[in-house]
Chains A and B, each alone.
Chain A
Amino acid sequence: MYAQLVETGLSKLKTAEELSDAERAFQERIDAGIRIEAKDWMPDAYRKTLIRQISQHAHSEIVGQLPEGNWVTRAPTLKRKAILLAKIQDEAGHGLYLYSAAETLGVSRDELLADLHSGKAKYSSIFNYPTLSWADMGAIGWLVDGSAIINQIPLCRCSYGPYSRAMIRVCKEESFHARQGYDIMMTLCRGTAEQKAMAQDALNRYWWPALMMFGPSDAASVNSAQSAQWRIKLFSNDELRQRMVDQTVPQIEYLGLELPDPAIKWNGERGHYDFGEINWDEFYQVLKGNGPCNRERLRTRVKAYDDGAWFRDALLAHADKQQENKKSA
Chain B
Amino acid sequence: MSKEWPLWEVFIRSQHGLAHKHVGSLHAPDAEMAINHARDVYTRRNEGVSIWVARAGDIFASSPGDKEALFEPSNSKVYRHPTFFPMPDEVKNL
Contacts and interface: CB of A to CB of B under 8 A. Distances in A.
Interface of A: 37, 39-41, 86, 89-90, 93, 96-97, 100, 103, 108-110, 165-166, 169, 173, 309, 312-313, 315-316, 318-319, 322-323
A315 B29 contact: yes
Mostly, the A contact residues are: helix
15 contacts: A39-B61, A40-B64, A89-B44, A100-B24, A100-B25, A108-B4, A173-B44, A312-B5, A315-B30, A316-B3, A316-B5, A316-B29, A318-B29, A319-B29, A319-B33
Contact of A315 (B3, B24, B33, B41): B33
A109 B44 contact: no
Give 4 nearest A-B pairs by CB, closest first.
Answer: A319-B30, A319-B29, A315-B29, A316-B29
Given A319-B30, A319-B33, A97 B24 contact: yes
Given A109-B27, A316-B5, A322-B30, 16 more contacts: A37-B64, A39-B61, A39-B63, A41-B64, A89-B44, A93-B41, A93-B44, A96-B26, A100-B26, A108-B4, A109-B4, A169-B24, A315-B30, A315-B33, A319-B29, A323-B30
A91 to B, nearest CB: 12
A312 B2 contact: yes
Contacts of A90: 44
Contacts of A108: 4
Contacts of B7: 103
Contacts of A41: 64
Contact of A110 (B1, B25, B41, B64): B1
B81 interface: no
B16 interface: no
A85 to B, nearest CB: 12
A110 B4 contact: yes
Contacts of A40: 64
Most-contacted residue by chain B among A40, A166, A319, A322 (CB, 10 A): A319
Most-contacted residue by chain A among B24, B40, B63, B64 (CB, 10 A): B24
A317 to B, nearest CB: 9
A151 B4 CA distance: 32
Measured as residues with beta carbon below 8 angstroms from the partner, the interface class of chain B is 20 to 34
A102 to B, nearest CB: 11
B40 A93 contact: yes
A39 B27 contact: no
Nearest to B5: A316
A173 B33 CA distance: 24
B80 interface: no
Contacts of A93: 40-41, 44
Nearest to A110: B4
Contacts of B1: 110
Contacts of A100: 24-26
B29 to A, nearest CB: 4
A89 B5 CA distance: 21
Nearest to B7: A103
Contacts of A110: 1, 4
Nearest to B31: A319
Contacts of A319: 29-30, 33
